[in-house]
């Protein structure tokens, strides 16, 4: 009887270990599938010129994009992580801006089509809403706030946006592509 219990325990442990190893192996590795674009984007108010752009059509469509509860939680979780990094650098916190979140959702959806700071229609990234968008970080293939914020901090241009003293607001959105990949857009405002 005692040997049966030991054998069952060993089998159960083997099954748990096999499941854990399978889960670990199936997760994307930071340097295998997760990617950042090669630079971050920032602009000054002078970049807009005499025109003021708000892409009303894109913003309306962003409200239709569905994200899982986990994706929404991870997007909002970036605020605490970013503010922690900013505090460590002696900077004040950023405030969440739902308008930037909505613009970021447009950009996350567009990044799934064309992973670039140029929009699929070849306009500048900030034309989604030029009144509020002054910085942008993109990423794809990350599945939690910890890893995407760390990747942004490891990139000098993305880190510069996060640690910019000129930004005071932020919004983040994640678009889940049909294949399950997450596309992140972090938008910054003055």
Global pTM reads 0.74
Q: To the nearest whole number, what is the mean pLDDT of the chain?
A: 80
Confidence band for 45, pLDDT divided at 50, 70 and 90: low
Give the whole-number percent of the chain exceeding pLDDT 70: 66
Output the pLDDT for position 65: 56
Tens digits of residue pLDDT in 95-111:
999 999 999 999 999 99
Confidence band for 7, pLDDT divided at 50, 70 and 90: low
Output the pLDDT for position 19: 42
Inform me whether the pLDDT recorded for 77 exceeds 60.
Answer: yes
Q: Rounded to an integer, what distance in angstroms lies between the CA atom of residue 125 and that of residue 40?
A: 11
Confidence band for 42, pLDDT divided at 50, 70 and 90: confident
SS (H, E, C) 159-189: HHHHCCCCCCEEEEEEEECCCCCEEEEEEEE
């Amino acid at each position: 009887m005692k040997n049966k219990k030991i054998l069952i325990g060993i089998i159960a442990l083997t099954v748990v270990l096999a499941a854990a190893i399978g889960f670990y192996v199936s997760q994307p590795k930071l340097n295998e599938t997760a990617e950042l674009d090669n630079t971050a984007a920032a602009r000054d108010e002078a970049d807009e010129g005499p025109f003021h752009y708000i892409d009303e059509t894109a913003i309306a469509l962003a409200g239709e994009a569905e994200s899982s509860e986990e994706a929404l939680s991870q997007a909002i979780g970036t605020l605490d992580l970013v503010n922690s990094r900013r505090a460590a650098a002696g900077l004040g916190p950023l405030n969440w801006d739902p308008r930037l979140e909505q613009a970021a959702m447009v950009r996350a959806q567009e990044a799934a089509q064309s992973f670039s700071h140029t929009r699929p229609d070849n306009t500048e990234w900030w034309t989604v809403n030029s009144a509020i968008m002054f910085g942008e970080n993109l990423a794809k293939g990350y599945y939690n706030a910890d890893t995407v914020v760390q990747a942004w901090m490891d990139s000098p241009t993305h880190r510069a946006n996060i640690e910019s003293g000129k930004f005071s607001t932020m919004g983040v959105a994640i678009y889940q592509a049909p294949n399950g990949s997450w596309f992140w857009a972090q938008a910054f405002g003055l």
